[in-house]
Amino acid sequence: MKIKSCYICQHCGYQSPKWLGRCPDCGQWDAMVEERREAGPSQRRGGVALASSATPQRLCEVATTAEQRCLCGLSELDRVLGGGVVPGSLVLIGGDPGIGKSTLLLQAVDRLAATGAVLYVTAEESTRQVKMRGERLNVGAGDLFLVSETSLEIILERVRELRPSFLVVDSIQTIFTADLESAPGSVSQVRECAGRLMHLAKGQGVSTFITGHVTKDGAIAGPRMLEHMVDTVLYFEGDAGHPYRVLRAVKNRFGSTNEIGVFEMKEGGLAEVPNPSELFLAERPEGAAGSVVVPTLEGSRPILVELQALVSTSNFGQPRRTAIGIDPNRVALLVAVLEKKVGLSMLNQDIFFNVAGGVRLSEPGVDLGVIAALASSHLNRPVPASLMLFGEVGLAGEVRAVSRPELRVREAARLGFDRCYLPAGCLKAVDAPPGMELRGVRCVEQALDEVFA
């Protein structure tokens, strides 16, 4: 077989027959690495027996059956997966170093071992290190097998010998195949190893979990094709200064991508947080200007979070604008709406904005809360502690309707809030819970006038 070499971008997987200083596809500098490969079609399949060649069928003739899911015992993880682990699925979990990916998987497979054998491949640690972590987490299932190996061929051989129901590979960037000469973690190695694991999962029905390193930008390292190959992509997020962790699905072929799971890192491992609203509001200051509570929706789960704003006179020619947990461009847009439509002058003001608890917000339904927090800090007038508001704000200062307002209002009433300002367009679709007063607003000026009346 003829051997040829090509240059592959280690960020996006772009291939070039010659070296380039800058990748034409992603624009990264000094990312092209030479890799040797065989010319011609590869017949390697990792020894996995695939299904017979399929014949075309009419859509109406395809038989459908309910998916038999396996519950891993962690309800937050089961929620994000769409109701449990689907047999033969390939799940990719990414996150920052030390965020708790291995801890989460070890706790999950310990409970999955009650339904079938589990093979945990630790490519970055020794089996003794995993055993020490397991003792700390009180993990000790009888059908949980450990192996410390980085060779893909040996891993596949162990799978054929053990025939487990579940497989964990930690991590995909450290696994390599001898059929390629490139180093572990390169684009070719990651793509080839993930492809063979996919054939294993689909061909033998082994539910497979793989972990992935992330780049400095927060994306999973390796080719983007890696996320296209797997069935589910989960990101384990969290702030180093907070004990809370959020498991978020960005791709899921067997469920919704809007669900999140909330965990708290403790000495004995990850503890589930079934009611994150109470946790995020537990340390809310009383009577502080710039503090506002808003309901955000993550899938089918409403969560109440605290927004904090600090507006102060700048001592420099260029005021500082900082936002944590929310898009800074969105905050800048809402500041412009305040200046233009309400008349609050913030041209010479430093603005610092934070979402308490390390939560990241992306939906526009919190816009009205951001407006109220900024105005509260600027005017030095606190928002009543029992008041909550939500709604999307447009450039004309209008308050637009948002999705699922009834869930947001119900969650606020459960936690003791007695007054809620919401878009007038949502008012007819929501029945006020007992003890809750609902007030519809059409513009930012009206909302602020009523809040600070």
Look at residue 257 and tell me whether its pLDDT is greater than 90.
no
Spatial distance between the Cα atoms of 95 and 220, rounded to a whole number of angstroms: 8
Tokens linked to 448:
């602020």
Average confidence (pLDDT) over 69-85: 90
Element (H, E) at 268: none
**The pLDDT of residue 216:** 66
**The pLDDT of residue 50:** 46
Q: Which of 289, 302, 310, 313 is nearest to 384 (CA)?
A: 289
Look at residue 42 and tell me whether its pLDDT is greater than 50.
no
**The pLDDT of residue 65:** 67
Look at residue 332 and tell me whether its pLDDT is greater than 90.
yes
CB burial of 170-201 (b: ≥16 within 10 Å; e: otherwise) equals bbbbbbbbebbbbebbbbbbbbbbbbbbbbbb
- Order of all β-strands in the sheet with 244-252: 144-147, 118-122, 166-170, 207-212, 90-95, 232-238, 244-252, 260-266, 269-272
Which has more confidence, 195 or 219? 195
Spatial distance between the Cα atoms of 162 and 1, rounded to a whole number of angstroms: 34
Q: Binding site for ATP: which residues?
A: 95-102
Q: How confident is the model at residue 276 (pLDDT cuts 50, 70, 90)?
A: confident
Nearest 10 degrees: Cα torsion 145, 151, 156, 158 = -40
DSSP state of 430: -
**The pLDDT of residue 129:** 92
Q: How confident is the model at residue 139 (pLDDT cuts 50, 70, 90)?
A: confident
Spatial distance between the Cα atoms of 91 and 106, rounded to a whole number of angstroms: 15
Mean pLDDT of the chain: 87
Spatial distance between the Cα atoms of 43 and 51, rounded to a whole number of angstroms: 16
Element (H, E) at 309: strand 301-313
**The pLDDT of residue 349:** 92
Tokens linked to 228:
């296209």
CATH architecture of 279-451: 2-Layer Sandwich (3.30)
pTM: 0.75
Q: Do domains 69-273 and 279-451 have the same CATH topology?
A: no
Average confidence (pLDDT) over 49-53: 50
Look at residue 165 and tell me whether its pLDDT is greater than 80.
yes
Average confidence (pLDDT) over 317-345: 92
CB 247 within 8 A of CB 263: yes
Q: Binding site: which residues?
A: 95-102
Length of the chain: 453
CB 312 within 8 A of CB 350: yes
Q: How far is CA 355 from CA 19, 310, 366, 428, in A?
A: 45, 12, 11, 30
Q: How confident is the model at residue 155 (pLDDT cuts 50, 70, 90)?
A: very high
Q: Of 5-14, 340-349, 386-395, which gets the smallest average pLDDT?
A: 5-14
**The pLDDT of residue 31:** 81
Q: How far is CA 273 from CA 246, 285, 303, 405, in A?
A: 10, 22, 12, 23
DSSP letter for each residue of 324-389: ESS-HHHHHHHHHHIIIII----TTEEEEEEEGGG-----GGGHHHHHHHHHHHHHT-PPPTTEEE
**The pLDDT of residue 1:** 52
Kindly state which CATH superfamily the domain 69-273 is placed in. P-loop containing nucleotide triphosphate hydrolases (3.40.50.300)
Spatial distance between the Cα atoms of 204 and 51, rounded to a whole number of angstroms: 9
Domain spans in the chain, listed from the N-terminal domain onward: 3-38, 69-273, 279-451
Strand partners, 169: 121, 210
Work out the widest C-alpha separation in the chain, in whole angstroms.
Answer: 81
